[in-house]
A and B are shown apart, each in its own frame.
Chain A
Amino acid sequence: MSSDSSGTTAAPAHQGDVLVVTDVVRRFGDLVAVDGVSFRIAPGETYGLLGPNGAGKTTTISMVAGLLPADAGTITLLGRAVGPRHTDVKRHVGLVPQDLAIYPELSARENLVFFGRLQGMWGRALTARVDEVLEIVGLADRAKDATKEYSGGMKRRLNIGIGLLHQPTLLILDEPTVGVDPQSRNAILESVEALSHEGMAVLYTTHYMEEAERLCDRIAIIDSGRVQAEGTRDELIRLTGELDRIRLTGGGDVPEAAAAVRALDAVASADADRHSVLLAVRDAPTAVAGVVTAATAAGMTLDDVEITRPNLESVFLQLTGKALRD
């Protein structure tokens, strides 16, 4: 891995990368929607574009999906150029647009068969794959119903099913959980995790921090058309310089416990009051065992241990000066 000046890790330059996006620019009139974006995705990797509405996420994936040409820069998928006129390479891309890209008058099966045929799938292979996808997205029992009768969550699941029907090398999901109930959202996230485990590369855009943290191996924080930072979740959080917090609550000799944990290497600071000690630590999950041991050894009886870690929201706030959902 190579490190840039900000301390985050850029994707490793690897011949096996599924997608390589290099210095891509896209303008709409005077507006520069995407301004020099670069990233790469390895096989089986889930890569997140995290940013608020209007940050340039959808324009970026539109170029990656070959819907829009880039004004500058290059995009290659499996080493082949991507663009509106490069039709063959599109066979390796599965696009799940933010809008529900399904036909309301057709059933789920008919939608899948239609798009399958456009992907060049025919006959028994198509039928078998359609059955498989209907099972994956949990719509097998409603496969013959017109999709206009479906709930929002069912439509979202079908929307994803169409994207993965032809088993693409790269699956692009553009805000796939917008407007979805919690149960369907969880089902969608589980599907994406399963696909990633099967080796599919996933490009996932969202403005939901929790989704990015849960799904993405690496994340690019994008704002105003630029990648502000890129890396794993932990790498991005380290950018803020913020430490994890551990709060010990209980009785006994609280001041003595505070003094004991303050001496630990992982602990940067420890402030005590009558019933609790608040610690600033590096890597709380690793440090918590030592902290608890030291505190109890110093005579504190613990009622509760609470860990708080900085999240991507705070990273975004620090990098852009605004909240993620502004």
Chain B
Amino acid sequence: MRQLLVMTASDLRQHVRDKSVIIFAVLVPLALMYVFNLTFGSMESIELEPIDVAVSVPEGDELAGALVDTLAGLDAVQVRTTQTDEESARAMVRDGDAALAVVVQEGFSQGLAPGQGAVVDVVEGETAGIEAQVVETVVQAFLDRVNAGTRAATAGVLTSAGPVDPAAVAQAAVHSAPAFTTTEGEASTEQLSFSGSLVAGQAGLFLLFTVGFGVLGLLTEREQGTLARLRSMPMRPGLIVAAKALTAYVLGVVATGVLLTVGSLFFDVSFGSPLAVAVLVLCVVAAGVSLVFVVARIARTAEQAQIAQSILAMVLGMSAGAFFPMVASGLLGRILDLNPIAAFMHGLGITRGGGGIADLGEPIAIMLGFAVLATLASRLVPDRGAAA
């Protein structure tokens, strides 16, 4: 045990001095997170600015008043309405005092009686942006509901259901409960935000490089001759491999922890319960270390191993959605689900949604199962480096 710790401590000391591990395990992924977030982060959340809307509605028209109330009560965007006459409303837009003018003509409600469609003029100013489009969409939706109501009323007359006031029906339609509602489901609560996916994905992808520094040290030791000297020491040969695994594990846990922590702070991401996140980190590092041991057995040289490791890291990282979300279904989807990086990200999605350790059964099972299988594979495949 003492010899195991001596070798691990020496390995860690050399990695810290070498600085490569700090660069590739921490600085490069953080830089990539920053660049990706800068490039694509704006796609995630658009901050809508308040919008000034000039409104011209006929006095005493209840339906038109309902439209104004609807606009003023929007949650998605703050609408500052100014009620004025039609001419002034259009002038405000021309002068840039309002981004949008909504003009409801005289007889709006009365015009519905013959079953005609409701019409509202919307005037867009030069300063109109996405907020104006939101308001236009809301106005259109309002009119659609009014029109639907009047058509239903007209149809009632035609089918001799008795005289019906289309305006009243339209008002009822406007004030009735929405036709459908949305609730946040399990899938959405378990999904990471764009920034969250970026931080988690980059941490998972670079984890495979980081643990490589530890495990592939075996090949470096073989090439520089120190492996023979280590094997001549009075200790079980398995301790050398165990020390490399422990080194890789420590590097992986520290680097992933740093990336998640710093990434969370830089990009304002929360992954939920620290304890549950820590469990996920421990599991994904175990999977990463075991995978790199397979690489260490298959590769003849450190250079070969680094190439193989890079390919594996990119394939697993990208298929997990480290750069962009990946959507797959069927068999391919099931295969991708077995990717430990994907399981790690899925687990972080659960913790981000408020889940605890008890909710992490599936991702933990995938990561630990992967670790067990990869460890078995590393014991079974021939050590091509030793034979070289």
Contact = CB atoms under 8 A, between A and B. Distances in A.
A106 B14 contact: yes
A103 B221 CA distance: 9
A102 interface: yes
A97 B228 contact: yes
B20 to A, nearest CB: 11
A93 interface: yes
A162 B367 CA distance: 42
Nearest to B15: A105
B234 A103 contact: no
A65 B7 CA distance: 20
Contact of B235 (A93, A105, A114, A118): A118
B18 A115 contact: no
Given A99-B224, A102-B226, A105-B17, A114 B10 contact: yes
Nearest to A91: B234
Interface in A169-185: none
Interface string A40-64: 0000000000000000000000100
B231 interface: yes
Nearest to A86: B234
A101 B224 contact: yes
B225 A105 contact: no
A95 interface: yes
A105 B14 contact: yes
Interface in A111-140: 114-115, 117-120
A151 interface: no
A106 B10 contact: yes
Contacts of A88: 234
Contacts of B7: 118
Contacts of A118: 3, 6-7, 230, 233-235
A265 to B, nearest CB: 52
A162 B229 contact: yes
B316 to A, nearest CB: 30
B232 interface: yes
Nearest to B226: A101
Contact of B224 (A65, A87, A100, A119): A100
Q: Range of interface residues on chain B? A: 20 to 34
A100 B17 contact: no
- B7, B17, B229, B236: which has the most chain A beta carbons within 10 Å? B229
A66 interface: yes
Given A87-B234, A88-B234, A118-B6, A67 B225 contact: no
A80 B18 CA distance: 41
B229 A103 contact: no
Contacts of A89: 234
Interface in B4-40: 6-7, 10, 13-14, 17-18
A99 B3 contact: no
Contacts of B233: 90, 115, 118-119
Interface in B192-238: 224-226, 228-237
Contacts, number: 70
B225 A99 contact: yes
A84 interface: yes
Given A99-B224, A99-B225, A102-B226, A90 B236 contact: no
Given A100-B225, A105-B14, A118-B6, A87 B232 contact: no
A101 B229 contact: yes
B234 A95 contact: no
Given A84-B237, A117-B3, A103 B226 contact: yes
Nearest to A67: B231
A66 B2 CA distance: 21
Contacts of B2: 117
- B2, B17, B231: which has the most chain A beta carbons within 10 Å? B231
Contacts of B3: 117-118
A62 B227 CA distance: 12
B289 to A, nearest CB: 22
Nearest to B233: A118
A172 to B, nearest CB: 8
Contacts of B14: 103, 105-106
Interface string A151-167: 00000000000100000
A110 B13 CA distance: 11
B118 to A, nearest CB: 79
Contacts of B234: 87-91, 118-120
Given A87-B236, A105-B18, A99 B231 contact: no
B302 to A, nearest CB: 14
A103 B233 CA distance: 16
Interface string B324-349: 00000000000000000000000000
Contacts of A99: 224-225, 228
A110 B14 CA distance: 11
Contacts of B229: 95, 97, 101, 115, 162
A110 B229 CA distance: 15
Contacts of A102: 226
A63 to B, nearest CB: 12
A101 B228 contact: yes
A95 B228 contact: yes
Contacts of A146: 17
Nearest to A98: B225
A100 B227 CA distance: 11
A204 B120 CA distance: 102
A205 to B, nearest CB: 14
A114 B3 CA distance: 10
A320 B17 CA distance: 50
Contacts of A104: 224
A84 B226 contact: no
Nearest to A62: B228
A62 B232 CA distance: 9
CB-based closest 6 A-B pairs: A99-B225, A101-B229, A95-B232, A101-B225, A91-B234, A90-B234
14 contacts: A65-B228, A65-B232, A67-B228, A84-B237, A89-B234, A93-B232, A101-B225, A103-B10, A105-B13, A106-B10, A117-B2, A118-B230, A118-B234, A118-B235
Given A84-B237, A101-B228, A120-B234, 7 more contacts: A65-B228, A65-B232, A91-B234, A99-B228, A117-B2, A118-B7, A119-B234
